[in-house]
Amino acid sequence: MCGIFGYIGKDKKPASLILEGLKSLEYRGYDSWGIVVISNGILKRERHVGKIGEAKTVLPQTTTGMGHTRWATHGGVTVINAHPHFDCSEKFAVIHNGIIENERALRRALIKKGHKFSSQTDTETIVHLLEEVSKNNKKNNLSLVDQVRLATSKLEGAFAIGVIDRDRPEESVLARFGGPLVVGITDGYKLFASDPTALLPFTKNVIYLKDREIAWITPNKVEIRSFENHLKRSKIHVLDWDVEESKKGGYPHFMLKEIMEQPLSLTDTMRGRIRDGGLVKLGGLESVKEQLRDIDFIRFIACGTASYAGLYGASVIQELTSVTADVEIASEFNYGSFNWPDRSAAWFISQSGETADVLKAVDRVKREKILSLGLVNMVGSSTAQATTAGVYLHAGPEIGVASTKVFTSQMISLLMIACWLAQLRGEGEKSRQVAKQMALLSKLLSAVLNSRQVLKEIARELVSKSQIFFLGRGRNYPLALEGALKLREVAYIDTVGMPTGELKHGAIAAMDKDRPAIIFAPSDGMEMKNRSSVQELKARDIPVYVMTDKSGRKKFTDVADRMFVIPDVHPILQPILLAPIVQILAYEAGVLLDRSIDKPRNLAKSVTVE
Ligand code: F6R
């Protein structure tokens, strides 16, 4: 999620070159940044909050250095939390992408040993660990690689780190376990980055570091070893992207990239939060635990896609706990009359955290002295700051205007919140079973994404239709709304999203051959009801596309015009596996109709006006 860029050598102007590298990573939308260089045996650093923009560096242009653009996870968006981080003696500097899960235990142990922490970041534990290793091995004359190996062996979680040592001005060490790292090969100096995009202006020759590998880099050499200290052969890849293309990871649009990276973003959202035995841990809610133990009512407040995730959240909270939950659209909430029973909480869901309607609703709720909580992607955003406590999505930056990977991260977070609440209140038996199943999601989601071709063919049939009806029941009803919104905003096709059971109460009058239905009908106990709905549509010559699962497919083979089948999964997780369907349909339809995929007309990523 964060951006990393480093330079090893002395011929170029390192500080300016690193700054250029960081600028080219900024498309990901970062919240703070920093650079360190080695100057006459001293680490010189600058750190800033906000975008890099047109910034110029004030650092001396001496030798090796590295920089970082931060997407905050542990600790707010402040200069002190920005990377690079130093140890107490300012010998080592570390930059890090990832999350250290045993950060609290490590920090406690290091503080006991006398280390002084200056930030709230998990990253700072790495650099103090390194200092500890160095102190304990003074006589052994360990290489920087060996010291990094010993220090990282204590880490749990995910990390891609860059390390420099003020006493070794012409070397750097990288270690990778979970986050991307690429080394750029040129004559006379070397580079490294978290994303090959940033290397492209300088070189097309790169070495991708694999998980559990450590790289030792000097101006003329790159040596790669495993965590177990075995020398590895490093293959040089030649990049054949142009710079613009590469930011999208080889995909033609950010929207497609973000759809396809959902197995990873879901893993990031769940990382460290589901413990053995299905126990859910949400550190951001610790401070309001006692209030939530006795809560009777939760009202989710959000806009657009986030409000549909909220509908799913309300339904799973009611399924797994005795808490009553509902959803209000922020713009409606702001001007309506709403009662709050005793022991209520308002929970704001927002990718950007900057949506004006949501912020206005936060204000109102706070004035009414209701507990206000957030479910936000952008760390340190206005909603995150204005709410009393909350949960971050950790889905990574979403660039495409149409929300995709954030929608699934919102759903899985809401499910974790429901499980956490159930466990907190002693209602957790079912929730533990559900939480254990969540571990399977990423793999199953990859299987759904691999069947993209089938959805592309369906999209080809849809683009010529006058109107499309998305139908769903229960937990899958929010998908009908999201499907209608996605196709409307990306492909500009007229759509309707509604509960399947409402068809006969009006809508079916407007449907015909040119106005087909897409129905979400996995095996969730409603198969026979859904089959009847499909038959009613077919009896009127209305085409029906059935989105079901492996167990459900036999109920529809004789009635559906076409089917798309997802793998079997616990019914409560079905909407998360079905979600990419609506995203891919919208994407493919948009491409076929030559729409502006990443920036649909009249829309903005962050709606900061009412
Ligand atoms: C649709 C979409 C929007 C947002 C809505 C709320 O694809 O992205 O409907 O969900 O504008 O935005 P956030 O979540 O930033 O508050």
DSSP 156-192: -EEEEEEEEETT-TT-EEEEEEBS--EEEE-SS-EEE
Helix pair 304-320, 429-438: axis angle to 10 deg:
130
Helix pair 477-491, 574-592: axis angle to 10 deg:
20
Which residues does 290 contact at the CB level (< 8 Å), separation at least 6? none
Which residues does 285 contact at the CB level (< 8 Å), separation at least 6? 292, 373, 389, 390, 391, 417, 420
DSSP 3-state assignment of 393?
A: coil
497 CA to middle of ligand 1, Å? 17
Closest CA to 517 of 488, 493, 537, 491: 537
DSSP 3-state assignment of 560?
A: coil
Same fold for the pair 3-239 and 443-610: no
Helix pair 144-152, 123-136: axis angle to 10 deg:
120
d(CA 80, CA 301): 33
d(CA 345, CA 399): 31
Closest CA to 478 of 607, 603, 576: 576
Q: What is the predicted pLDDT for the residue at 246?
A: 63
d(CA 326, CA 306): 13
Domain 3-239: homologous superfamily in CATH: Aminohydrolase, N-terminal nucleophile (Ntn) domain (3.60.20.10)
Tell me, yes or no, if 303 is annotated catalytic: no
Residue 245: in which H helix or E strand, if any?
Answer: helix 243-247
From the list 366, 456, 538, 605, the catalytic residue is 605
The domains of the chain are located at: 3-239, 245-439, 443-610
User: What topology does CATH give the domain 443-610?
Assistant: Rossmann fold (3.40.50)
Which residues does 227 contact at the CB level (< 8 Å), separation at least 6? 149, 152, 153, 175, 177, 212, 213, 214
Paired with 36 in beta bridges are 45, 66
Q: What is the predicted pLDDT for the residue at 536?
A: 95
- CA-closest residue to ligand 1 atom 6: 303
Q: What is the predicted pLDDT for the residue at 29?
A: 62
Asked if 244 and 24 count as a contact pair (C-beta separation under 8 A), the reply is: no
Asked if 313 and 342 count as a contact pair (C-beta separation under 8 A), the reply is: no
End-to-end CA distance of the chain: 30
The tokens for 317 are 């909270």
Which amino acid, residue 405?
Answer: K
304 CA to middle of ligand 1, Å? 5
Q: What is the predicted pLDDT for the residue at 194?
A: 87
Paired with 164 in beta bridges are 93
- Counting from 1 in the atom list of ligand 1, the atom nearest the Cα of 407 is 10
Q: What is the predicted pLDDT for the residue at 245?
A: 63
Region of 304 (left: φ > 0; alpha: ψ -120 to 50; beta: rest) is: left
The tokens for 254 are 């950010």
- Any ligand 1 atom below 6 A from CB of 355: yes
Asked if 175 and 152 count as a contact pair (C-beta separation under 8 A), the reply is: yes
CA 43 to chain centre: 33
Closest CA to 573 of 349, 412, 429: 412
- Any ligand 1 atom below 6 A from CB of 359: no
d(CA 218, CA 294): 58
- CA-closest residue to ligand 1 atom 16: 350
148 CA to middle of ligand 1, Å? 42
Q: What is the predicted pLDDT for the residue at 244?
A: 64
The tokens for 114 are 């006398």
589 CA to middle of ligand 1, Å? 20
Helix pair 574-592, 452-462: axis angle to 10 deg:
50
The tokens for 70 are 């931060």
- Any ligand 1 atom below 6 A from CB of 303: yes
CATH of 245-439, one of 3.50.50.60, 3.90.1150.10, 3.40.50.720, 3.40.50.10490: 3.40.50.10490
d(CA 380, CA 374): 11
Q: What is the predicted pLDDT for the residue at 380?
A: 65
Site to probe by mutation for ligand 1, drawn from 327, 351, 387, 406 as the one with most ligand atoms within 8 Å of Cβ, is 351
Pairing of strands 274-275, 279-280: antiparallel
DSSP per-residue string spanning 51-116:
--TT----S---S-EEEEEE--SSS-S-TTTSSPEE-TTS-EEEEEEEEETTHHHHHHHHHHTT--
- CA-closest residue to ligand 1 atom 8: 403
352 CA to middle of ligand 1, Å? 8
Pairing of strands 32-39, 42-49: antiparallel
Pure H helices in 559-603: 574-592
Q: Which residue numbers in the chain have pLDDT < 70?
A: 1, 27-29, 240-246, 380, 608-610
Q: What is the predicted pLDDT for the residue at 397?
A: 78
The tokens for 94 are 């570390």
d(CA 520, CA 392): 29
Q: How far is CA 78 from CA 27, 81, 90, 342, in A?
A: 20, 5, 20, 36
